Amino acid sequence: IEPDTFDNRGTSTYSLVEEWQTTRDNQITSKSRKQLFSSLGQKLFQITKDIQRTAQGNDESDPTIPFINTVCHFLSLNKSFEMDTELLRGNLLKMLGVGEFSDKAKFGTANEETLVFPDVICAYCNDCCNLDLLRDEQLRKRKWKCKVCNHSYNKNVLEHKLITLLQKRAVAYQNQDLKCSKCKLVKVSNTKLICGNCCGKFECIITKQDFSKDLAIFQKIAEYHHFEWLGEIV
């Protein structure tokens, strides 16, 4: 086909081919999206229930959340499925009683001991960034400097913010709601000893093990960066 070939209406042959391919791709994408939420979606819900049932009582090595994150990660590699996959992932995590944006639901680095300090603002140039306190290459060399203007951060201010964050997590742990270990419903009445929906036992939403891990991370940060005040609070 010659590049300057035109049909009777003056439309380029190449343009017609591109338009046909685009229409065909859109039809395939629409069909694939419907299959994702009809067939594959139902299968994932069933598989997730089976994995959860098998791993029940073994919180330390529960593979349910890593399975959800891994499958949804590969599905999201197709950019046209990205939003639909996020919705599917949220529904699967909701079935487990896990928040979509909680630390427990993070993919890839969820099991690594670290703390990302969000929205740290440089007092000199007002640059805003997130600081990974245990994995950032610059911080690991004990260089608390802005990557834009190279001015030093005020470590005392950052240590005070870390203490405030630790205290908030401690208060959240002490004042948390209880949930049913079976149906995951939140306890409504303070007088009930068992769940009125399924007669299951109540348990903490934030477990003792999770809070102990948080304390260990703060302790590690205090020792690594010589935050004596933070270490005393922990």
The span from the CA of 94 to the CA of 91, in Å, is: 5
Provide the residue type at 44 as one letter: L
Question: If pLDDT is split at 50, 70 and 90, which confidence band does 35 have?
Answer: low
% pLDDT > 70, the chain? 76
8-state DSSP, 195: -
> What's the pLDDT tens digit per position in 76-90?
777 777 777 888 888
The span from the CA of 31 to the CA of 28, in Å, is: 5
CA dihedral (39, 42, 45, 49) in degrees, to 10, reads -110
Question: If pLDDT is split at 50, 70 and 90, which confidence band does 216 have?
Answer: very high
SS3 215: helix
> What's the pLDDT tens digit per position in 123-181?
899 999 888 888 888 888 888 999 899 999 999 999 999 999 999 999 999 999 898 98
The span from the CA of 234 to the CA of 223, in Å, is: 11
The span from the CA of 107 to the CA of 44, in Å, is: 17
Within 10 A of 176 (CB to CB), how many other CB atoms are there? 14
% pLDDT > 90, the chain? 22
Q: Please tell me which residue, 106 or 187, carries the higher pLDDT value.
A: 187
Both tokens of residue 127?
């640059």
What pTM was estimated for this model as a whole?
A: 0.51
Q: Which residues pair with 203 in a beta bridge?
A: 179
The span from the CA of 115 to the CA of 133, in Å, is: 6
> What's the pLDDT tens digit per position in 16-27?
445 545 555 555
**Which region, left, alpha or beta, applies to residue 15 given φ > 0 means left and ψ of -120 to 50 means alpha?**
alpha
Question: If pLDDT is split at 50, 70 and 90, which confidence band does 9 have?
Answer: very low
Phi then psi for 80, rounded to 5 degrees?
A: -70, -15
Q: Please tell me which residue, 158 or 41, carries the higher pLDDT value.
A: 158
The span from the CA of 59 to the CA of 63, in Å, is: 9
The span from the CA of 34 to the CA of 32, in Å, is: 5
- Given a cut of 50, whether residue 45 has pLDDT beyond it is yes
- Given a cut of 60, whether residue 3 has pLDDT beyond it is no
Q: What is the mean pLDDT of residues 205-232?
A: 91
Place of tokens 């001991």: 113
